[in-house]
């Protein structure tokens, strides 16, 4: 793939990330359900990793992690590494074990969100900021609520994939 | 395995590790101020945030008008009743204030004097994520807002404390946020404790006044204000009212659950206290 095509493709993915980011950061936070809002950025990384594979997923994870760590309140640097790893492992799973489909994305999203929330929970437990029960009361609804939004996020990125994804621009 | 990683973005992984370390270092280096990249991103996103906020506010207004007309009408009636009640209380308070003034003069006590310097700001985004509760304001360091400044509503009720400041935006940890911790005291008994948000209370819209003596004698409805004892925050800002009391797990101290006096989800404009003096 020519460099120009490669840049075009990833600009399209970045463009698709913008409405997901705004939805996640500025719209859904106004309408929390039982005090919970979904985590759409990890779902976005999972969707792109399922569609684009290991390298694409890792790269997109890195960029999205950078956004997550810098543009959100209380952003931690570890988010960059976590989302890169999510992109990489989901890409590998999609390539070797799962189908490139919404079902695959849902399974991977559930796994990725569980991993991220577990990391967060373990950190909170370690620093004794909350009890396990308190963490589960937040993490489980957040996981479910994020999965409800997964089809929409996957749909956005699948549309991009259909137009410019994979090697279509070659 | 080695081949897999060589072919599939080991460089990206290295870059991710380096960026994670860099951002963490930046976070520690800049303290409560946001790192330059975060500042640029949030500054660029400010018009978008404002636009979305305006549209969402309009949609909320239309929705309220269509589907909650009856509820709003009831609310209006209740508010009118409340205003009348408060006007009555105000008259009583004015009388008591004058009497208090006379007594102070009589006892030659020096009056406390507070000089607040305010900065009004609109709320451009809300960040209630289950883990914390934040508000993003439309003004930042260009208007003299700094981390640690107290934020109040138009009625002088404490909303939260500024936690991060960018060029034209600032993030506020509300009183409900688990990151918030400040001194508080009850008006009726004068007991002081630590006001803090907690994860499991966040969803119920409550915060905790902890480290009280076991025989605190607080009752439901007692008003809680900031104590200002550390000097970091102004004193006498209304926080909320006691809804429940109890004893901590160790049985060494008591606590009270506080419902904030301000509806955080209904706020659209707040005031940042940039400067204050306490002369005792």
What CATH number is attached to the domain comprising B240?
2.40.10.350
Q: Give me the number of domains chain B comprises.
A: 2
pLDDT: is A150 or B48 the higher one? Answer: A150
Co-location of B123 and B204 in the same domain: yes
**B37 contacts on A by Cβ (under 8 Å):** 66, 70
Co-location of B30 and B169 in the same domain: no
Most confident of B58-67, B116-125, B177-186: B177-186
Q: How far is B92 from chain A (nearest CA, A)?
A: 39
- Mutation pick from B6, B15, B23, B134 vs chain A, by most beta carbons of A within 10 Å, is B23
| CB within 8 Å: B171 and A25 | no
Co-location of B237 and B146 in the same domain: yes
Q: Is B169 domain-assigned?
A: yes
Q: What is the mean pLDDT of residues B86-106?
A: 74
Co-location of B122 and B13 in the same domain: no
Q: Considering only CA atoms, which of B141, B167, B223, B203 is closest in space to residue B44? A: B167
pLDDT for the residue B242? 94
Co-location of B49 and B165 in the same domain: no
Q: Which of B59, B82, B105 is the last residue of a domain?
A: B82
pLDDT for the residue B259? 94
Using CA atoms, how far apart are residues B8 and A38, in angstroms rounded to an integer?
30
E strands along chain B, which residues?
113-114, 117-126, 134-137, 150-152, 158-165, 170-174, 181-186, 192-196, 207-212, 223-226, 238-247, 254-260, 269-275, 278-279
Co-location of B127 and B236 in the same domain: yes
A27 touches chain B (CB under 8 A): yes
Q: Considering only CA atoms, which of B38, B56, B60, B58 is closest in space to residue B48? A: B56
Q: Is B109 domain-assigned?
A: no
**Could you tell me which residues come within 8 angstroms of residue B65 by beta carbon, excluding any fewer than 6 positions away?**
B72
DSSP, res B251: S
Q: Is B88 domain-assigned?
A: no
Q: Is B89 domain-assigned?
A: no
| CB within 8 Å: B56 and A30 | yes
**A117 contacts on B by Cβ (under 8 Å):** none
Decide: A100 and A94 in contact? Cβ < 8 Å. Answer: yes
Mean pLDDT for all residues in chain B = 81
pLDDT for the residue B32? 55
**Could you tell me which residues come within 8 angstroms of residue A4 by beta carbon, excluding any fewer than 6 positions away?**
none
* Model confidence band, residue A1 (pLDDT cutoffs 50, 70, 90): low
| CB within 8 Å: B38 and A73 | no
Q: Which of B82, B108, B143 is the last residue of a domain?
A: B82
Question: Domain range for residue B52?
Answer: 2-82
Q: Which of B82, B106, B125 is the last residue of a domain?
A: B82
């Amino acid at each position: 793939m020519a460099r120009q095509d490669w840049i075009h493709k990833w600009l399209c993915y970045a463009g698709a990330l913008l409405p997901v980011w705004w939805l996640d950061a500025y719209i859904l936070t106004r309408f929390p359900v039982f005090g919970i809002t979904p985590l759409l950025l990890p779902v976005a990384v999972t969707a792109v990793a399922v569609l684009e594979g290991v390298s694409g997923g890792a790269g997109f994870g890195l960029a999205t992690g950078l956004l997550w760590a810098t543009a959100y309140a209380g952003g931690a640097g570890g988010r960059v590494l976590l989302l890169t790893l999510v992109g990489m492992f989901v890409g590998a799973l999609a390539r070797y074990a799962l189908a490139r489909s919404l079902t695959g994305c849902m399974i991977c999203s559930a796994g990725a969100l569980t991993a991220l929330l577990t990391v967060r929970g373990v950190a909170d437990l370690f620093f004794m900021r909350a009890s396990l029960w308190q963490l589960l009361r937040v993490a489980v609804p957040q996981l479910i609520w994020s999965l409800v939004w997964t089809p929409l996020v996957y749909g956005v990125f699948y549309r991009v994939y259909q137009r410019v994804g994979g090697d279509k621009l070659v | 395995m080695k081949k897999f990683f060589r072919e599939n973005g080991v460089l990206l992984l290295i870059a991710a590790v380096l960026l994670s370390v860099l951002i963490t270092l930046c976070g520690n280096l800049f303290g409560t101020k946001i790192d330059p990249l975060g500042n640029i991103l949030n500054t660029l996103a400010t018009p978008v945030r404002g636009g979305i906020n305006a549209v969402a506010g309009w949609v909320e207004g239309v929705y309220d008008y269509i589907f909650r007309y009856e509820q709003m009408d009831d609310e209006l009636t209740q508010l009118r009743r409340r205003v009348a009640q408060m006007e009555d209380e105000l008259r009583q308070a004015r009388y008591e204030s004058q009497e208090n003034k006379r007594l102070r003069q009589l006892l030659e006590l020096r009056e406390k004097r507070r000089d607040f310097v305010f900065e009004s700001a609109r709320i451009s985004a809300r960040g209630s994520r289950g883990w914390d509760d934040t508000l993003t304001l439309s003004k930042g360091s260009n208007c003299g807002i700094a981390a640690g400044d107290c934020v109040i509503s138009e009625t002088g009720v404490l909303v939260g404390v500024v936690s991060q400041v960018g060029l034209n935006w600032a993030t506020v940890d509300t009183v409900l946020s688990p990151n918030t911790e400040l001194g508080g005291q009850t008006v009726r008994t004068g007991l002081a404790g630590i006001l803090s948000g907690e994860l499991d209370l966040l969803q119920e819209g409550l915060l905790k006044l902890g480290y009280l003596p076991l025989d605190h004698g607080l009752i439901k409805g007692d008003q809680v204000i900031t104590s200002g004892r550390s000097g970091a925050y102004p004193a006498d800002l209304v926080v909320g009212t006691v809804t429940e009391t109890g004893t901590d797990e160790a049985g060494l101290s008591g606590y009270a659950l506080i419902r904030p006096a301000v509806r955080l989800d209904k706020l659209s404009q707040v005031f940042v206290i940039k400067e204050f003096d306490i002369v005792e």
